[in-house]
Structure 1
Amino acid sequence: MPSLTHYLTVLSAVAVGSVVADVNPNAQGACDDTHGGQDACGPNGSEAWLNTGLNGEGWNPPFLDINGLKHISLEDYYNGVGRSCRQYDQYFKSSGEKYNIDPAILAFLAMQESSCNADAGGPTPGLMQCEPRNCQNGKSSCQYPIQDNVDCGAHVLRAALDNAGGNAVRAIGSYNGWFIKGFGLNGGKGITVDYPCSAEGRRNGAPQNLDYLHETLN
């Protein structure tokens, strides 16, 4: 699991020094000064809102259009906490153009998934931590070349966005293994706060990060 330092770094993705993103008018509980804790919030909504249902009958993701997300520019990100991602800029932009995804979103995901480390290992290796079965290069692995790994991540996110009608909250959550009701997991419910560490959750791989949406979107 990523360290606390990693989480705090990602939490700063949309607030670098005096550079902050505009508040999303479609997001409940949004704030222009990203922070964590009990009342965690950022420009794309409060964590409680993004995690709707997690403490109840299962995650019921609110809708935020992928094309309406608020975030700082890539250049501002690279000049701040995302400096380790700058070396991969060409890959984010190439995959973004190929899959019609804002390259900044791909950079934010890469930071969340691997701390922007293309050599990161594990069962889902590489910069985007993309499952080998989703490789688009016809091979059994796509950690390298790096472009193949970013293409893999962008493909997975694009498929999730298309399946979710462009809902960034649902699609980005699914990238980390979040699910809604009807997926045949958790007794037919969406993911809940106790699921990742349950027996079933452990059988289904690495536990989901329940701060993932806030850390990635805010």
Structure 2
Amino acid sequence: MALRNAITLASFVLAAGVAAQSADPGLGVNSHAQGATEEVTPGAGPNGSEDWLNTGINDGGWNPPFMALDDLILVDLQTYYSGVGQACQQYDQYFQSAGKQYNVSPVILAIIAMQESSCNANAGGPTPGLMQVSCDNYPNGVCTDSIQDNVDAGTNYLVSQINSSNGNAVQAFGSYNGWFTAGNGLNNNKGLTADYPCSSEGQSNGEPQNLDYIQQIFNGWMLGLDVYGDDSWIGTYKCAGSCNGNNQC
């Protein structure tokens, strides 16, 4: 698979009966990420370890480490469309348009659409469409039936989060999924913690957050892996879709 910066990702293999994917030894790891490994495991990969991406979630509250969007290792657009992102290719014109308008790589937008809606423009819910963002992000703050408006809204939100976090892609992607840092009044004014999604406050704020979200994107979709299919082992929190016992999402 072709990777940005001319990095080549070879065929993945299973390692010793453990769910893992091994990259070509020449791939290397992201020098901007802690805990990065050539082998993709449930809790790590070329773009860092999940413990690092989720810094603080199991302690005092999420304190996202810094990594810029341009630092991420990811497959190129055509490789993505020819593999796990095939369902997104029909919407390429919208990703291209929004990417040009907001100066964001279209493959990033296609990856978000896959994570959020499995690239289904008809996906419903309180945040409908491909990008699953609130109507506040649409032109004039009103949801429309336009696919382009939906992609523009999602891109606008992502860029706003990147800007508000001084260029931190880790914080921006977490925010896209509703993650929050200290000081916003939630969770006793702490950042997101592992026990928050299933707390009474977390439940009152809607569906629990997927605590594997950043790991799934950075070390799953971005590497051309199928997080919702054969590679669903990626991530260590593993929510069952409801709050019962230790199942959190």
TM range (shorter): 0.7 to 0.9
- For residue 141 of structure 1, what is the aligned residue in structure 2? 143
- Greater relative contact order, per chain length (Cα 8 Å cut-off, separation 6+): 1
CA deviation profile, 1:175-211 (whole Å, cap 9, x unmatched) = 0000000010000100000111111111112211000
Task: Name the CA distance, whole Å, in 2 between partners of 1:105 and 1:169.
Answer: 13
CA deviation profile, 1:38-87 (whole Å, cap 9, x unmatched) = xx112210111100000000000000011111101111111111111111
* Bigger-Rg structure (1/2): 2
Task: Name the CA distance, whole Å, in 1 between partners of 2:189 and 2:141.
Answer: 34
Q: TM-score, normalised by structure 1?
A: 0.87
Task: Name the CA distance, whole Å, in 2 between partners of 1:87 and 1:107.
Answer: 10
Equivalent pair of 1:64/1:167 in contact (CA under 8 Å): yes
CA deviation profile, 1:134-185 (whole Å, cap 9, x unmatched) = 212x26213x211110000000000000000110000000000000000100
Task: Name the CA distance, whole Å, in 1 between partners of 2:122 and 2:10.
Answer: 26
Deviation of the 1:16 alpha carbon: 8.2
Task: Name the CA distance, whole Å, in 1 between partners of 2:28 and 2:74.
Answer: 7
Matches within 5 A, 1:1-218: 17=11, 23-36=29-42, 40-136=43-139, 138=140, 140-142=142-144, 144-218=145-219
Equivalent pair of 1:51/1:59 in contact (CA under 8 Å): yes
Structure 1 residues 16 and 189: CA distance shift in structure 2, 3 A = farther
**What root-mean-square deviation, in Å, do the aligned CA atoms of Structure 1 and Structure 2 show?**
1.8
Compare the two structures and name the one with the higher helix fraction: 1
Aligned partner of 1:27: which letter? A
Task: Name the CA distance, whole Å, in 2 between partners of 1:199 and 1:95.
Answer: 38
Deviation of the 1:34 alpha carbon: 2.3
Structure 1 residues 17 and 116: CA distance shift in structure 2, 3 A = farther
Task: Name the CA distance, whole Å, in 2 between partners of 1:61 and 1:148.
Answer: 30
**3-state SS of 1:42 partner:** coil
Task: Name the CA distance, whole Å, in 1 between partners of 2:79 and 2:168.
Answer: 25
Structure 1 residues 104 and 22: CA distance shift in structure 2, 3 A = farther
Deviation of the 1:35 alpha carbon: 2.8
**Identity, % of aligned positions:** 55
Task: Name the CA distance, whole Å, in 2 between partners of 1:160 and 1:135.
Answer: 15
- Structure 1 residue runs of 4 or more that deviate by more than 2 Å after TM superposition: 15-23, 32-35
- List runs of 5+ in structure 1 lacking aligned partners: 1-14
Matched residues, number: 200
- List runs of 5+ in structure 2 lacking aligned partners: 1-8, 13-22, 220-249
Structure 1 residues 35 and 86: CA distance shift in structure 2, 3 A = farther
- For residue 3 of structure 1, what is the aligned residue in structure 2? none
Q: TM-score, normalised by structure 2?
A: 0.76
Structure 1 residues 32 and 180: CA distance shift in structure 2, 3 A = same
Aligned partner of 1:64: which letter? M
**3-state SS of 2:98 partner:** helix
